[in-house]
Amino acid sequence: MNYSGFVRTAALASTLVSLSNAAVVLTFEGVGNLAPVGSFYNGGGGGSLGIAFGADALALVDSDAGGSGNIANEPSGETGLFFLSGPAAVMNVAAGFDTGFSFYYSAALAGSVVVYDGLDGTGNVLATIPLSVQNADNCTGDPNGSYCNWTPVGVTFSGTARSVAFGGTANFIVFDDITLGSSTPGGVIPEPSATVLLGAGLAAAVVARLRRS
């Protein structure tokens, strides 16, 4: 396992209702190994949820499932979210969401997730979640994968969030089961199945990378 314009008015209103009243879970299954997540959840294969990701956000499939991800024991499926360039992978939700936000993560270097009330990581900060190193704590691969420990993290906040920046060191942190509208990660709305994630040997500092060569 390696690596870590919206809808029209009527559809947008419908999306706003769904994101406000029920948790939405993104598993990234079906995006494809090392493929940009982009508009997969904004009219693509993941449905019309009004959720879009920036150019740096990529899907990563477990190497044991045919991908390039240096990952194991994923909380769901075989795919996760990671990035290979830039300081963060950014998620935009034009209609906004409230109540809470949560996800699973695995990291070989520390990171952080920041929730904003504006698009593209702008506006007021609604919540900041620091992420510690824990990728190999008390776990083994399935059979392979150095990123084998996944920690659930969640937060509640006031206001309406419209973007989230998943930050850290590129290729050293991976996310899964990103959940909008709940401080507890986990599936409420099912998605189409598929697989994607990366991995990649050791860094000079003997820190395992997500994407394999």
Residue-range domains of the chain with CATH: 9-180 (2.60.120.260)
Full pLDDT tens readout for the chain, 213 residues: 443 322 233 333 333 334 545 799 999 999 999 999 999 999 999 999 999 999 999 999 999 999 999 999 999 999 999 999 999 999 999 999 999 999 999 999 999 999 999 999 999 999 999 999 999 999 999 999 999 999 999 999 999 999 999 999 999 999 999 999 999 998 543 333 322 223 333 333 346 788 776
3-state secondary structure the chain: CCCCCCCCHHHHHHHHHHHHHCCEEECCCCCCCCCECCCCCEEECCEECCEEECCCEEEEEEHHHCCEECECCCCCCCEEEEECCCCEEEEEEEEEECCEEEEEEEECCCEEEEEECCHHHCCCEEEEEEECCCCCCCCCCCCCCCECCCEEEEEECCCCEEEEEEECCCCCEEEEEEEECCCCCCCCCCCCCCCEEECCCECCCCCECCECC
